[in-house]
Amino acid sequence: MKHAISLTVNGQPHKIEVESRRLLIEVIRDDLGLLGAKQGCETGHCGACTVLVNGKSAHACCLLAVQADGKEVTTIEGIGTRDQLHPVQEAFVKELGYQCGFCTPGMVMTSVALLSENPNPTAEQVRAGLTGNVCRCTGYIKIVKSVLAAAENLRAAQ
Amino acid sequence: MNNFEFFRPGSVHEALRLLEEYGDDAKLLAGGQSLLILMREGLVQRKVIIGVAEIEEMKGIRLDQAAGVVRIGAATIHRDVETSPLIAATFPMLSEAYPILGSVQVRNFGTLGGNLCHNAPGSDPPSPLIALGATLTVEGPGGKRTVCLEDFGTGFYETSLGSNEMLTEVQVPLAAARSAGAYHKYAMRANDMPFVNVAAHVTLDAARTTCTDVRIVLGGVASTTIRARQAEALLSGKRIADDRIADAGQAAAAESDPISDTYASAEYRRQLVPVAVRRTVAAAVERARAL
């Protein structure tokens, strides 16, 4: 069964025809060509597919595209540009919160949502907030440091 | 996944009509954080999927003082239960079970009703809710019926929900004075399903030396969440004593029937139950004493 769905992705409205069984991650990557969100575990554990839906972090591999009909989706491509990185991206670069980079878009998106809900988190709260994002390379220490640094910079900018 | 038809009814009435029309060919989808994984793995396949996550009348958390319950709509997302000031103030044990359920991403879309109907062994919400004496409203073509949550789960991923019925609301009764609960979860990693969980809820007498009511609920040690009734009987109406609590732990272990799986062996679970029960009951008692 096909559905005509309306998605706003990174501020741009899209009208797409999708089969009911298409997943949001497939539509984002294959139909819209946004390759930042990754397909890792495909079972809602690793968080490499994390995007924001109406500002809330989501495993895009665990949502049908039709579940996002009428909603706003934000991907890593939507939060900053090469010339003007988002403060969270800046912090990840400065603090070296990445190695291979596969988990990084997901880590950044979850962190953006986390900081919008809690602008002054403790390290413990950052760790708890990132349980849905798995990293094989870094051991997480510099990821947590990056999020805390981003939090500080965002607070200072206000 | 198979090429299923997808409907998004705007009301319970419409959803029930669709269920009646499609029967066993249909399945309800709430947040999809459990069901979609099964569908992706090919373990569940239906011709029709009925999306109920957006039905407004099934969302929300409110106090119904007259009925002496807090009502939670079945389509309420876990994140809203987790962050609800009403739940934190009224049922601290329930509030505590949430931050360690899955991940934020899962809790942003997974619903309480979906979780209870999925009934995965070891799942977090059923244990504290059964310990609190929660009831459910189930609606079908014959109207509404009330079910005790402790009777709802019938086995491994099975509940007493009929194929033409849907869960619409959870009611959590306000606890008596001098009551408190505790919930402990044991899992390999932060966002893993628990391999053992324990919820304990106690009510103390005025002298705070005796348990007038006690509920001990275990998850992950049987095909569904269970009340350890023999363990409870050792404590209910009795003076609180460490050796009594330890005996209750042993009784609970005897009532458990765990299996070995990816997360933990049956032996480990059986060894863990008396320790977990002892700790959780002691924590509940300490909290109740402090009230």
Q: Looking at the predicted structure, is the pLDDT value of residue B276 above 90? A: yes
For residue range A110-133, list pLDDT tens digits in order.
999 999 999 999 999 999 999 999
Q: Is B243 exposed, middle or buried (0-12, 13-18, 19+ CB in 10 A)?
A: exposed
Contact yes or no for B109 and A58 at CB 8 A: yes
Confidence of residue B192 (pLDDT cuts 50, 70, 90): confident
Contact yes or no for A131 and B190 at CB 8 A: yes
* Residue A148: strand pairing partners: none
Confidence of residue B52 (pLDDT cuts 50, 70, 90): very high
Provide the edge-to-edge strand list for the sheet that holds B179-186.
Answer: B179-186, B196-204, B211-219, B226-227
Confidence of residue B191 (pLDDT cuts 50, 70, 90): confident
Confidence of residue A1 (pLDDT cuts 50, 70, 90): confident
Lowest-confidence pick of A2-16, A62-76, B66-80, B94-108:
B94-108
Question: How much is the average pLDDT of B183-209?
Answer: 92
Distances B6 to A27, A45, B133 between C-alpha atoms, Å: 17, 25, 35
Contact B50, B18 (CB under 8 A): yes
pLDDT at site B190: 73
pLDDT at site B193: 87
Provide CB contacts within 8 A for A81, sequence distance 6+: none
How many Å lie between the alpha carbon of A50 and the closest alpha carbon of chain B? 8
B3 interface with A at CB cutoff 8 Å: yes
pLDDT at site B220: 96
Contact yes or no for B5 and A129 at CB 8 A: no
Contact yes or no for B108 and A62 at CB 8 A: no
Question: How much is the average pLDDT of A71-77?
Answer: 98
For residue range B119-155, list pLDDT tens digits in order.
999 999 999 999 999 999 999 999 999 999 999 999 9
Percent of chain B with pLDDT over 90: 93
Q: Rounded CA gap, B72 and B272, in Å?
A: 32
How many Å lie between the alpha carbon of B7 and the closest alpha carbon of chain A? 9
Q: Rounded CA gap, A11 and B249, in Å?
A: 56
Q: Which amino acid is at A19?
A: E
How many Å lie between the alpha carbon of B30 and the closest alpha carbon of chain A? 10
ipTM (interface pTM)? 0.96
pLDDT at site B98: 86
Q: Rounded CA gap, B272 and B81, in Å?
A: 29
Confidence of residue A158 (pLDDT cuts 50, 70, 90): confident
Question: How much is the average pLDDT of A29-52?
Answer: 97
For residue range B199-211, list pLDDT tens digits in order.
999 999 999 999 9
Question: How much is the average pLDDT of B25-50?
Answer: 96
pLDDT at site B188: 87
What pTM was estimated for this model as a whole?
0.96
Confidence of residue B262 (pLDDT cuts 50, 70, 90): confident
Contact yes or no for B191 and A64 at CB 8 A: no
